[in-house]
Amino acid sequence: MRRFSEEYLSRTRRGMWTGEARDALADLDLRSASRVLDVGCGTGEFTGVLRDECLGDGLVVGADRDPELLAHADGPVVRADALSLPFPDGTFDVVACQALLVNLPDPVAALREFARVSRGRVAAVEPDNAAVSVDSTVGDEAALARRARELYLDGAGTDVSLGDASGAFERAGLSDVSVRRYDFERTVEPPYSEAAVRAATRKASGAGLRERRGVLTDGASAEELDALRESWRAMGREAVRQLRDGEYRRRETVPFYVTVGRV
C-alpha cells in the first residue's frame, strides 16, 4: 500500500465536503449512527466530517496504520490495518473510508473486514482518477497533467480509477448498494492563497513529479520521464509568472463516488 505525507493529504483534501457537497453522504445516514469508524483516516479530515454529521453523543473513531499521520488527527484514533481491524464483530453502525480502496491491491478483502465490524452500513468515498480534468490559463498545463495522470494510472499497481465501487461491494456480500457522485473542484484564482503559491512553485521545481517518480517510472521510459519533467518545469515557470501578474486561473475537477451498502 502506498504511503502519503501529512502535507500531501492536507493539500489534496483541503476544501472537500463544504456546503451542499455533504448531500452526497446522505445514504450513510450518519444522524442515526451512534458508533462510526473511519478506516485509513490519515490526518483525520474525513473523520472530522463524519463527526460533524453525527448527532448527539455519536462516537467516531479514526483508524490508520501510519502513526505519523495519526499524530495529526484528533482523537479518538487507533493504529490499525484495514485488513485486520482490532474490533469485535458488529461494533459500529457505519464503517467508512475515503480514498483508501484505490490504494489497496484487494479492495474486496478490505470491504469484507469492514462488513465484519459493522452492524449496519459500509461506505467508501473513492475517486475516479482516470476522469480528473484540468482547465488552466497556462496553455500546456492540461495536456501535461493528463499525460502525467496516464503514466500514474499505468504504474500505480492498484485500481486508482475505481470510483463507483458497487461491483466490489456486491462481491464483498453487501446489499442494497447505492452510489452518489460528488465532483470536487479545486480552483486557483486571485487573491492567491499561500497554498496556491506553493503549488505553482512546486511545479516550477518539478517537485510533484519527483515525489511520484517510482510510480511514473513503471509507466514510462527514463527518456520520456525526463522530457515530461522538463516540460513540467517550464509549465510551472509560466504558472509562476502568471500568478505574479495576477493572471493565473486553474480549475481541477476530481469525480468522487460515494458507495454505500448494508451488511
219 pLDDT more than 60:
no
Q: Tell me what pLDDT residue 9 has.
A: 60
Identity (one letter) of the amino acid at 119? R
Question: pLDDT band at 58, cuts 50/70/90?
Answer: confident
Q: Tell me what pLDDT residue 164 has.
A: 98
- Of 249, 252, 251, 246, give the one whose Cα is nearest residue 137: 249
Q: Tell me what pLDDT residue 38 has.
A: 98
Tens of pLDDT, residue by residue over 127-148, are 999 999 999 999 999 999 999 8
178 pLDDT more than 60:
yes
What is d(CA 19, CA 27) in angstroms, rounded to the nearest whole number?
Answer: 17
Q: Tell me what pLDDT residue 206 has.
A: 83
165 pLDDT more than 80:
yes
Pairing of β 133-136 and β 118-127: unpaired
Q: Tell me what pLDDT residue 211 has.
A: 56
What is d(CA 192, CA 201) in angstroms, rounded to the nearest whole number?
Answer: 13
Identity (one letter) of the amino acid at 65? R
Q: How many residues does the chain have?
A: 263
Tens of pLDDT, residue by residue over 28-47, are 999 999 999 999 999 999 99
Cell matching residue 196 = 496556491
Q: Tell me what pLDDT residue 143 has.
A: 96
What is d(CA 154, CA 131) in angstroms, rounded to the nearest whole number?
Answer: 14
- Of 2, 9, 112, give the one whose Cα is nearest residue 62: 9
Q: Tell me what pLDDT residue 89 has.
A: 98
Q: Tell me what pLDDT residue 223 has.
A: 83
How many CB atoms within 10 Å of residue 214? 10
Per DSSP, the chain holds a count of helices (H) and strands (E) of: 10, 8
214 pLDDT more than 60:
no
Torsion angles phi and psi, residue 59, rounded to 5: -95, 125
Q: What percent of the chain has pLDDT over 70?
A: 90
